Amino acid sequence: MTALDDTRGTAPHEQTAGVVHHPGRAVDADRTGVVERDGVPLAYEVVGEGHATTVLLLPTWSIVPSRFWKAQVAPLARRFRVVTFDGRGSGASGRPEGAAAYTDAEYAADAVAVLDATGTDRAVLVGFSCGAAWSVHVAAGHPDRVQGVVAISPSCGLSVAAPDRERYAFDGRYDTREGWAAYNRHAWLDGGYADFLDFFFGRMFPEPHSTKQIEDCVGWGHEVSPQTLADTVAGRLGLDGAVAEPLEPLCARVRCPVTVLHGTDDRVRPWQIGERLAALTGGSLVLLEGSGHGPPARDPVRVNRLIEEFVDRVVPPPARRTTWTRAARRGPRALYLSSPIGLGHARRDVAIAQELRLRHPDLAIDWLAQDPVTRVLADAGETVHPASAALANESGHIEAESGEHDLHAFQAIRQMDEILVANFTVFTDVVAEQRYDLVVADEAWDVDHFLHENPELKRFAFAWMTDFVGWLPMPEGGGREAALTADLNAEMIEQRARFRRVRDRSVFVGNPDDVVDGDFGPGLPSIRDWTAENYDFAGYVTGFDPARLRGTEELRRELGVRAGERLCLVTVGGSGVGGSLLRRVLDAVPLARRLAPALRFVLVAGPRIDPAALPEVDGARVMGYLPELHRYLAACDVAVVQGGLTTCMELTALRKPFVFVPLRRHFEQAFHVRRRLEQYGAGRCLPYEQAAEPDALAAAVVAELGREVDYRPVETDGAARAAALLAELL
């Protein structure tokens, strides 16, 4: 009996309720569990329960866990039941000792054990790198369990020459660790493991701007000991007493459909290996021109679509009813995307949409949005697309990345890669099912980035909107952060130079002088000059006309402010990041009221902070989400805000004195918002280190309370100007 046939094991330990939420994940597992086979625990997850067809994403080399598939799980789970598991030697699975525990047959038997444990009769197998060989083992040994195989960048078991690698034996001893000599048991065990990880993943991702993928994989590689990884290679090669079963004879026994995806710039294993596997299995070959060894991570949109198309071929979906409308009978339709990170985008976007309808009264607008933006849209009577419910929670991710008034904004966005791929998939499904003449993306980073990466998917006029340009490093990030932000900026600049047709219009919500000075990075253009060349300027969009606000005295009475009293309004935006600042203000309330006895405080917790979680303090009232926050800002005498652009600019337009406390390590608030407020001569910046001292915060509020402001006027026609730019695309 071979290990492939031996799926003996203990009953799986499963968890179907109360599954732990993982910050940064696009989707949580419906089921998690552990099945033990021959004493080795195998941790698995199931996502998308209820779908008829199962896709098993096999482990790859144990240098990385199943998290390598993070860009595939949520997109595929929209239509399929997706099963993943950590291969032996990685992630949450066991790490047996010795090469014999890591043969191809053992990994393949593990896959069958996971199929059994998850109640999966048949599945489409997707294998990457070493996992491609294991998919062949399973398909050959258990043809009744496998509906099809997608082999991505196959790397093991086939006789295709690779002279650059083969000159160094894995078990040999060499005087050098350069190049493929680093792929060596003795080098790993003698202190060269970290250097090997850097070398290997640099080879794996030769595509420019792959810093995130390399960083992820190097981090995962450090979770595996050099000895365990050496055992996995020895097992595959038949060293140390392990028995390696030849792969090519097994290929002839594969009866299911097979497709092979391989990058032409694969510097780990050449694409000819993929060609050989396709020939041996009677499968098809898809060459990914210019891709390296890791397309699931580096080209996820294309890979996901190829997997989906393959599954639909081998397991055709039920027929669907569709409707086609003649062009002459189609009214204009737009899809509006509004960033959920805060509420400022939503208020300005509603104002722009209303102006856009004045120019095109028959325009239908659907919104693809999530909380808290959907609350603003509901209040405005806008139509939220049902697919919005499938969007992964960006606000929740941002909150999970934050600390005490601390949000490393650049890193938080960078860590959101899995969520961005998932949400772009939702977007592509929406625009495939419904024709749209115009897509407006207000800082919808996923859509802008992946449309430039996959320009063939653009079938509509596309307008991009933002109120800042340029990822900027925080000084404490040092050279590494400066290099990473410059790399991301360079990618954006290159995308725009190569694919200008993707954006039909780029709109900057502001004026040329609002753009920060400086460059995008060493050797890159000036931010201000590049923005002027690539954007149209709409002026700032407040969403309201300050001159038309009425009833502030009535509102003050509703808030409990008596004649002769002064009101300090405190608001921290639409996310849940501002709880720390609210608590610091409450600490300062008694001191501020000692300095100014007539002063009362109203704190707005917003839509994602529970007011009941904040302490009660005399002279202060805590409120929840206020749909018309600008009216309350108009009613105050002074304000304390977190430092987001929208609220600061609304206070500027209303000519109110205010203290703003930027989030620590938040480059946009530290640089872009500061630049904007300096242009208007507005606000007083108070670093959080000072705001956390009740005396200092109380003194700053009272000092601003009596100050006469002399701000530069904020334009009131920004929404109309932005709408005019968009209307030209319809």
Residues 31 and 133 in one domain: yes
Whether 688 contacts 669, CB under 8 Å: no
Q: How many CB atoms lie within 10 A of CB 353?
A: 23
Q: What pLDDT does residue 6 have?
A: 37
Q: Is the pLDDT of residue 656 over 90?
A: yes
Over range 671-691, report the average pLDDT.
96
Residues 305 and 348 in one domain: no
Structural domain includes residue 714: no
Residues 515 and 588 in one domain: no
Q: Is the pLDDT of residue 193 over 60?
A: yes
Structural domain includes residue 718: no
pLDDT band at 22 (very low <50, low <70, confident <90, very high): low
Structural domain includes residue 447: yes
Residues 492 and 624 in one domain: no
Q: What pLDDT does residue 19 have?
A: 41
Q: Which of 540, 574, 589 finishes a domain?
A: 540
Q: Is the pLDDT of residue 13 over 60?
A: no
Give dist(CA 178, CA 729) in Å, integer.
Answer: 55
Q: Is the pLDDT of residue 493 over 60?
A: yes
Q: Is the pLDDT of residue 147 over 70?
A: yes
Q: What pLDDT does residue 644 have?
A: 92
Q: What pLDDT does residue 7 have?
A: 38
Structural domain includes residue 320: no
Q: For 579-638, what is each residue's pLDDT tens digit?
A: 999 999 999 999 999 999 999 999 999 888 999 999 999 999 999 998 888 989 999 999
Residues 135 and 104 in one domain: yes
Whether 19 contacts 30, CB under 8 Å: yes
- Angle at the Cα of 454 (from 448 to 458), degrees rounded to 5? 70
Structural domain includes residue 719: no
Q: What pLDDT does residue 553 have?
A: 87
- Which pair of structure tokens corresponds to residue 719? 């929404």
Over range 129-141, report the average pLDDT.
97
Residues 431 and 464 in one domain: yes
Residues 526 and 588 in one domain: no
pLDDT band at 14 (very low <50, low <70, confident <90, very high): low
Whether 447 contacts 337, CB under 8 Å: yes
Q: Is the pLDDT of residue 4 over 50?
A: no
Beta strands in 428-560 (DSSP E): 438-442, 461-466, 505-508, 536-537
- Angle at the Cα of 248 (from 245 to 253), degrees rounded to 5? 95
Whether 474 contacts 481, CB under 8 Å: yes
Residues 349 and 453 in one domain: yes
**Global confidence as pTM:** 0.94
Give dist(CA 391, CA 334) in Å, integer.
Answer: 19
Give dist(CA 221, CA 219) in Å, integer.
Answer: 5
Residues 401 and 527 in one domain: yes
- Which pair of structure tokens corresponds to residue 130? 């070493």
pLDDT band at 23 (very low <50, low <70, confident <90, very high): low
Give dist(CA 17, CA 298) in Å, integer.
Answer: 33
Total number of domains in the chain: 4
User: Which of left, alpha, beta for 557 (phi over 0: left; psi -120 to 50: alpha)?
Assistant: alpha
Domain that holds residue 464: 329-540
Structural domain includes residue 729: no
Q: Is the pLDDT of residue 308 over 80?
A: yes
Buried-exposed string 684-698: b where 16+ CB fall within 10 A, e elsewhere = bbbebeebbbbebbb
Residues 551 and 504 in one domain: no
Beta strands in 122-190 (DSSP E): 123-128, 146-152
Residues 148 and 288 in one domain: yes
Q: Which of 475, 505, 540 finishes a domain?
A: 540
Q: Is the pLDDT of residue 3 over 80?
A: no
Structural domain includes residue 79: yes
Whether 263 contacts 293, CB under 8 Å: yes
Q: For 497-533, what is each residue's pLDDT tens digit?
A: 999 999 999 999 999 999 999 999 999 999 999 999 9
User: Which of left, alpha, beta for 590 (phi over 0: left; psi -120 to 50: alpha)?
Assistant: alpha
Give dist(CA 230, CA 239) in Å, integer.
Answer: 10
Give dist(CA 568, CA 592) in Å, integer.
Answer: 10
Q: Tell me how far CA of residue 4 lies from CA of 29, 137, 255, 332, in angstroms.
A: 27, 8, 18, 58
Q: What pLDDT does residue 148 have?
A: 98
Q: What pLDDT does residue 344 have?
A: 82
Q: For 394-405, what is each residue's pLDDT tens digit?
A: 988 998 999 999
Q: What pLDDT does residue 56 have?
A: 98
Over range 678-691, report the average pLDDT.
96
Whether 323 contacts 690, CB under 8 Å: no
Which CATH number fits the domain that encloses residue 551? Answer: 3.40.50.2000
Average pLDDT, the chain: 93
Q: Which of 182, 213, 237 finishes a domain?
A: 237
